[in-house]
Each structure stands twice: as C-alpha cells, then as structure tokens.
Copies of this chain bind each other. A is one copy, B any other.
Amino acid sequence: MIEYRNHRVAILGGGSVGSQVAHLLISQGEELAARAGAGLEVVGIAVRNLDAKRDTDLPADLFTTDAEALILGADIVVELIGGIEPARTYILQALNSGADVITANKAVLATHGPELFEAAEQVGAQLYYEAAVGGAIPIIRPLRDSLAGDRVSRILGIVNGTTNFILDRMDTEGDSLEDALAEATRLGYAEADPTADVEGYDAAQKAAILASLAFHTTVPLGAVYREGMTSVTHEQVVAARKAGYVVKLLAICERVTDADGLEGVAARVHPALVPLGHPLAAVHGANNAVFVEAEAAGSLMFYGAGAGGIQTASAVLGDLVSAARRHVAGGPGVAESTHANLPVLPMSSVTTRYQITLTVLDEPGVLATIATMFSDRGVSVEGVSQSVRDGGDNERPTATLVIITHEASESALAATVEDLSSTSVVSAVVSVLRVEGL
C-alpha cells in the first residue's frame, strides 16, 4: 500500500477548464480531501506561453512551460490540452511514469485509445475520461461499472450540443439552418469554424469512444459512418414534426448481424427522425443525452448540459476523486476491457427504418407502382400517408407521399431510391431520412 500523503496533481493546459479545475481544487480542497481520503495538491499548470492573458487569479508560480518536468513529479496528470499532439505524448509519458491520467480529450481517445489503454495496463495505472463525452453527464462510469454485468444492445446519443441547439431552433423557432447556426455562434455554442460540429466529426469521435466501451471492443474512428447535418432543411424539420417526429443528429452504436449472419458492432452518426414520444425528442437546446438499451436493465437515459467549461471541470473533479481513492486503496487500475473483441461492421451491415418523402403524380395506380418498387427491392413498407393534390398543374396534378419503411438495409434502400428517381410517376424524391428510436 502506498504511503498516505497529498496527491500531486499536474494540470496540462491553462484554458478555461484547466483554470476552473485548479480553482476548485484549491477552494474546495478540504471537502475534496474528505471525500477522496487524501489531499489533492495542484503542483503546476503547464502552458505554452507564460505571458498569455488568463482570466484567473491563480498563483503565478503554478504556471510553467516545462510540461515534461511537471509530469514526472506528479501522481495524477490532468490533460486538458486537446487535439492529438502533444497530448498523446504527454499522456504516454505520464502513464509510463506510473501516474494516473485524467483527460477530456475525445480526439486522442478516439484515434489512439488502444495505445493509451495498453500503456496504462502495462504499469497498472488508470486512464479516466468521464469528461470526454457529454460534459458532466456521468456516462463513461455507468457504462464501465454500473452496466458491467449487463449486455448493452444499442446506444442512441445526442452528444453534440451545438447541432442539437441548431436543430432545436429550427424545430421550435422555425429558423433556417443558417439563422440557427448564426444564433449558435452569437451565443458561443458554435465555434468560428463549425465544421467539426455540423459535419459530425465531434459526434463520430464520441461514438467511437462509447462503442468501444459499451461493447468491450476496439472501434476505430475510421469505422464510424459519418454524415453531418448541413443538408437538413427547414422544410424537413417542419414536415417531420407534422408526421410526429423531430430531427436529431444521433450517434448510434449497436450490435448488428450482417447479411451473412456475422455478429458484430457498428457505429454511425447522421441526422435521424426521432418519434415525439421518445425521451430523446425532449432534449432541447444545447443539452446532451445518451439513451442506452441493455438486455436486463432495459432502456436508460442520461441527460444533462453538454461540455461547457464548468461542466467539464465537474467531470474532471469526479475523476480526480476516483483516482485519489484508488491510490489510497492501492493496487492496479482496472484495465480497459476489449475482451469481447467483436468484429466492427460497416454501414452496409446496418438496417434501420426510413422515411421517404416523394412528390408523385396524383393519378390512379401510382401508389401501386411505387409500392411494387419497394417490394421488388425487398423493402417492406410500414405505412404511407398521402396528401391531396398539392402541386403540379391541372394536366398533371401532384401529391406528396410520405412512406415509412420497416427495417431495411442501406443498400436495398439506396436501390429503391434509385428506382424511384428514374420512374416517370415520381416528380421528385423530396427527402430520405432514417428513423430511430421506434
């Protein structure tokens, strides 16, 4: 058992989260020590430039540019730099020196997770990352510990606050995508370059992390199918609500069986229709929520604010107390488990439901023609709703057809849409959206 003493905490990164973590460690030191069973002493904050202006009254002598020296003298290293390098190198240095590491860095976990977890296991250290997904929402620990005896079948997550804010504005305020994005930028929810959010890169990183953890399988970022939400139109959002759905950008991780009977896991990020009665439909603004379906536990949802500075700091502090408790108890950390090692299957293995909106000629026999096209491709139709004549001209009046399918494969659906596009009775394929949560 190690000697009972203060635990030396090194913070890498002097931004908003790093400053708040340091502040809370200092101001609530006594209370945290009582909870952890040991003191947590900030021994330094590594920054790139000592002269940078900081919104903080932390003691100046805590700051250093020598990250490596700081790491070597620490029991616990908190990595809040973000990005791949030098974060990856610092985390490896810390783990190799036997320190526990706490990180909020989804990018490095999604791309170098296996290497980092392996390094931790080698020395019996622990890598904590509750802050990497969903800000302060406890989701990593519930998946890792609470559901450790259960079998997760699916995760549907709203894991990007910016895009949820935008889609929610489009739904509740009637904004266009452009206006909603401008408002998100004005309020500080969106960055100057919103690509990582709106194109789903951020959500895909989180999907890789969640899928790896939930299925005890290494799911590389490159295996996550990704489709952003920039093509979602105001009209689609309005039509979705009319049909009883809201449009959400979802990160979906699930067990799937492909056409050859191979069981595996798949992860994907794309806009999807969610039924209004589903708990995820009630997640408004920049909030996040992760909906988990497990064999025994049934459906669970974890909801809260996404990653703001203070929320991320809360998650980091929770990990710090866990790390300190573990040091008090002694013994090695729990290795990240990849024992299941399921095959990671491509998007083409995934089946889901679709809503297809068509403008069709309002003539006898058209519905039958279209229904045949679906059945020819093996796509089963669950329901059709048809508007009265709403377009075209007197000679060739048109109507809108909204079709919901049963579960179908990506490829069968794509072939059906191809057929629909080339038939004369369909004037336009207005939209094709996946439906989740039914």
A residues sitting closer than 8 Å to B (CB atoms) are 1, 20, 24, 28, 31-32, 34-37, 130, 135-138, 141-142, 145-151, 216, 279, 282, 294-305, 308, 310-311, 313-322, 325-326, 328-335, 337, 339-340
CA gap between A226 and B325 in the complex, in Å: 36
CA gap between A216 and B34 in the complex, in Å: 10
CA gap between A301 and B291 in the complex, in Å: 11
CB pair B136–A34 under 8 Å, yes or no, is no
Q: Name the CB-closest residue of B to A281.
A: B282
CA gap between A124 and B240 in the complex, in Å: 56
Least CB distance from A104 to B in Å reads: 13
CA gap between A66 and B146 in the complex, in Å: 30
CB pair A296–B24 under 8 Å, yes or no, is yes
Q: Which residues of B contact A321 (CB under 8 A)?
A: 145, 148-149
Task: Name the residue in A34, A321, A340 with the highest tally of chain B Cβ atoms < 10 Å from its Cβ.
Answer: A321
A-B pairs with beta carbons under 8 Å apart, 11 shown: A28-B151, A34-B339, A35-B148, A137-B297, A138-B142, A138-B300, A149-B319, A149-B321, A294-B314, A298-B304, A298-B308
CB pair A296–B320 under 8 Å, yes or no, is no
Interface contacts beyond A35-B149, A145-B321, A148-B317: sample of 11 additional A-B pairs, CB < 8 Å, sorted by A: A31-B340, A34-B340, A138-B146, A149-B319, A296-B311, A296-B313, A299-B304, A300-B303, A301-B302, A303-B303, A328-B331
Q: Which residues of B contact A32 (CB under 8 A)?
A: 148-149
CB pair B304–A301 under 8 Å, yes or no, is yes
CB pair B141–A145 under 8 Å, yes or no, is yes
Q: Which residues of B contact A318 (CB under 8 A)?
A: 145-150
CA gap between A136 and B300 in the complex, in Å: 8
CA gap between A31 and B150 in the complex, in Å: 10
- Assuming the contacts A297-B311, A304-B298, asked whether A317 and B149 have C-beta atoms less than 8 A apart, the reply is yes
Q: Name the CB-closest residue of B to A338.
A: B34
Least CB distance from A33 to B in Å reads: 9
- Assuming the contacts A136-B298, A298-B305, asked whether A334 and B339 have C-beta atoms less than 8 A apart, the reply is no
Q: Name the CB-closest residue of B to A2.
A: B331
Q: Which residues of B contact A136 (CB under 8 A)?
A: 146, 150, 294, 296-298, 300
Q: Name the CB-closest residue of B to A143.
A: B138
- Assuming the contacts A136-B297, A305-B297, A314-B297, asked whether A35 and B322 have C-beta atoms less than 8 A apart, the reply is no
CB pair B35–A216 under 8 Å, yes or no, is yes
CB pair B34–A337 under 8 Å, yes or no, is yes
Q: Which residues of B contact A148 (CB under 8 A)?
A: 32, 35-36, 317-318, 321-322
Q: Which residues of B contact A331 (CB under 8 A)?
A: 1, 328-331
